[in-house]
C-alpha cells in the first residue's frame, strides 16, 4: 500500500517538471454552498489534467533497461496525453492505444505530444486488451491509468500541495474513476491530519468504487454513457480499493444534469473550463450531496479537456434550464403584417430572436393561420412569463413551450 513517504518521494522526483497548480478561494461558490470553498485547478496542468503527475512518477522510476523498451498505455484521453508528454520529454518511446471513437482532438493532442497512437476497439476495455497484447509482443512497460503504486503516489502529490497551500482544510472533495487520484490524495491528507474529511464523487451511471466497497472487492459494473468520461471506469482498482476503504470517509453520486450544471457554473462564474469529471466534485457540493456546511472545503477541478461541441451543447442546455433561452410556437393569422407584429412585440419586450420558422402544413395549424416557431434569448423565467402574457393578450395561441 502506498504511504506518504512514497508520495513525498514522488514529489522530490518530479520537482520542477509538474506545475504546482493554484488553490484560490471562490467567493461566489462559497456564498452559494454555505462553505469557504477553494478550487484546486489541476485543469491548468500542461496536458489539462492531474494525470501527468502519476505518469511522470512512473516514467522517472524506470531503470535503463525499461527506458530502452519503451512504455505503452491504454486511454481515451487524459492519461494518454500525460504519458505521451512526459515520456517524450524524458526520451522514452510511448505507444498509446485509444478506442476508435476517441474524439479527433484527443488523438491529435496525444500524437503531438510525441506518442505513437494505435486506434483499436469500440471502448476502453477493448483498447486495454490490445495494449496488453502489444506489451507482451514488444516487451514494453505498461503504465496503468490508476492501478499502479507509482501512479498513485504521483497523484498523491496533489494532497501534499493542498496541505501546504491551505493547512486549515476541513474537507476535500475528489472525483473517483478507478481510484488513483483519491487514493493518493487521501493518503497524503489522512496520514498528515486524520481529521480532514475526504469525500469521493462518482457518476450515478458508473458507481464502480461504491460497488466495490459494497462487495468488498472490485466488481464490473454495466457499461453506461456519461459526460464525465474521465471517471467512466467500470471496475475499481485492486490497489486503490484498500486505500479507499482505509482513508475515504464517504462516496456520493451525481447525475448528468448536475455535472452539466456544474460545468456551466464554473465557466460562467469562475471563468474556468472543466470537463465532466473535473466538475463532478463541484456538482456534489452545490447540489448538497456532501452535507458540508460552514466548512473550509477544497474542491478538485481535476481536468479541463472537454470537447468544444459538447461544451456548446452543455451551454445551450444550461441556458434553457435557467430560462435564458426558450422555444415557443405562436399561432398567428396568415396574412401580411402578422410576422412584423409578432417580431415587433418580442422586440418591445427586449427579447432577442435567435431563430424563427413558419409552418402552415404540419401539426394542428388551423386553416388561415400559420405557426411561427421562435427561439428566443431571454433574461429568465419571469421574462418568459411576461412575453407569454403579452402574446396571449393579442389573442394568439402559444404552445409547445420549451425552457
pLDDT digits (tens, 9 = 90+) for 18-28: 999 999 999 99
Once rounded to an integer, what is the mean pLDDT over residues 238-249? 98
* Mean per-residue pLDDT, 295-302: 98
How do residues 262-275 score in pLDDT, each as one tens digit? 999 999 999 999 99
Summarize the confidence of residues 70-97 as an average pLDDT. Answer: 96
Question: Which pLDDT score, from 0 to 100, does residue 401 have?
Answer: 66
Are the beta carbons of 259 and 203 closer than 8 angstroms? yes
**Domains delineated in the chain:** 4-49+148-317 (3.40.50.1100), 51-142 (3.40.50.1100), 323-402 (3.30.70.260)
pLDDT higher than threshold 70 for residue 2: yes
- Cβ distance 122 to 100 under 8 Å? yes
Strands of 266-364, DSSP E: 296-301, 325-333, 352-359
Q: Are strands 250-254 and 197-203 parallel, antiparallel or unpaired?
A: parallel
Residue 322 pLDDT = 83
Nearest alpha-carbon partner for 198 in 215, 216, 184? 184
Centroid of chain to Cα 75: 15
What pLDDT is recorded for position 360?
Answer: 72
Q: Please say if the pLDDT value at position 258 is more than 90.
A: yes
Confidence of residue 370 (pLDDT cuts 50, 70, 90): confident
Answer yes or no: are the C-beta atoms of 60 and 14 closer than 8 Å.
yes
Asked if pLDDT for residue 362 goes beyond 80, the answer is no
Give the tens place of pLDDT for each residue, 135-173: 999 999 999 999 999 999 999 999 999 999 999 999 999
pTM: 0.90
Residues paired with 370 in a beta bridge: 332
Q: Has residue 45 got a pLDDT over 90?
A: yes
Would the pLDDT of 403 be above 80? Answer: no
DSSP state letter for 49: B
Calpha distance 318→3 (Å, rounded): 42
Angstrom distances, CA of residue 170 to CA of 38, 55, 174, 195, 249: 11, 29, 14, 7, 12
Percent of the residues in the chain that have a pLDDT greater than 90, as a whole number:
82
Backbone angles phi, psi at 176, to 5 degrees: -125, 130
Structural element, H or E, at residue 225: none
Residue 103: per-residue pLDDT: 77
Task: Give the cell for residue 86.
Answer: 512526459
State the average pLDDT over residues 18-41.
97
Residue 402 has pLDDT above 80, yes or no: no
Amino acid at each position: 500500500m502506498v504511504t506518504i513517504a512514497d508520495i513525498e518521494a514522488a514529489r522530490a522526483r518530479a520537482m520542477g517538471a509538474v506545475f504546482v497548480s493554484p488553490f484560490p478561494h471562490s467567493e461566489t461558490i462559497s456564498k452559494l454552498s454555505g462553505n469557504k470553498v477553494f478550487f484546486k485547478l489541476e485543469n491548468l496542468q500542461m496536458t489539462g489534467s492531474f494525470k501527468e503527475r502519476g505518469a511522470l512518477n512512473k516514467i522517472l522510476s524506470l531503470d535503463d533497461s525499461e527506458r530502452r523498451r519503451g512504455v505503452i498505455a491504454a486511454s481515451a484521453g487524459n492519461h494518454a496525453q500525460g504519458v505521451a508528454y512526459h515520456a517524450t520529454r524524458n526520451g522514452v518511446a510511448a505507444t498509446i492505444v485509444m478506442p476508435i471513437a476517441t474524439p479527433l482532438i484527443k488523438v491529435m493532442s496525444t500524437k503531438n505530444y510525441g506518442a505513437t497512437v494505435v486506434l483499436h476497439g469500440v471502448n476502453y476495455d477493448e483498447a486495454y486488451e490490445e495494449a496488453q497484447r502489444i506489451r507482451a509482443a514488444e516487451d514494453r512497460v505498461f503504465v496503468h491509468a490508476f492501478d499502479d503504486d507509482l501512479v498513485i503516489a504521483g497523484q498523491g502529490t496533489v494532497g501534499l500541495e493542498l496541505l501546504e497551500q491551505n493547512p486549515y482544510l476541513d474537507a476535500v472533495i475528489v472525483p473517483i474513476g478507478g481510484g488513483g487520484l483519491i487514493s493518493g490524495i487521501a493518503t497524503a491528507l489522512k496520514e498528515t491530519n486524520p481529521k480532514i474529511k475526504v469525500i469521493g464523487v462518482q457518476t450515478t451511471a458508473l458507481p464502480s468504487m461504491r460497488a466495490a466497497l459494497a462487495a468488498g472487492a472490485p466488481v464490473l459494473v454495466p457499461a453506461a454513457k456519461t459526460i464525465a468520461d474521465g471517471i467512466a471506469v467500470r471496475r475499481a482498482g485492486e490497489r486503490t480499493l484498500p486505500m479507499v476503504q482505509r482513508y475515504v470517509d464517504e462516496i456520493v453520486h451525481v447525475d448528468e444534469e448536475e455535472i452539466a450544471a456544474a460545468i456551466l457554473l464554473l465557466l460562467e462564474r469562475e471563468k474556468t473550463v472543466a470537463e465532466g469529471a473535473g466538475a463532478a466534485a463541484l456538482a456534489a457540493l452545490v447540489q448538497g450531496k456532501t452535507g458540508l456546511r460552514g466548512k473550509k472545503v477544497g474542491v478538485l477541478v481535476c481536468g479541463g479537456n472537454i470537447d468544444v461541441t459538447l461544451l456548446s451543447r452543455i451551454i445551450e442546455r444550461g441556458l434553457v434550464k435557467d430560462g435564458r433561452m426558450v422555444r415557443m410556437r405562436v399561432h398567428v393569422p396568415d396574412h401580411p403584417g402578422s410576422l412584423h407584429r409578432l417580431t415587433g412585440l418580442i422586440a418591445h419586450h427586449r427579447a432577442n430572436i435567435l431563430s424563427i420558422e413558419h409552418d402552415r402544413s404540419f401539426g394542428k395549424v388551423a386553416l388561415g393561420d400559420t405557426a411561427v416557431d421562435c427561439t428566443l434569448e431571454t433574461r429568465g423565467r419571469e421574462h418568459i412569463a411576461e412575453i407569454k402574457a403579452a402574446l396571449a393578450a393579442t389573442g394568439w395561441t402559444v404552445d409547445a413551450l420549451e425552457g
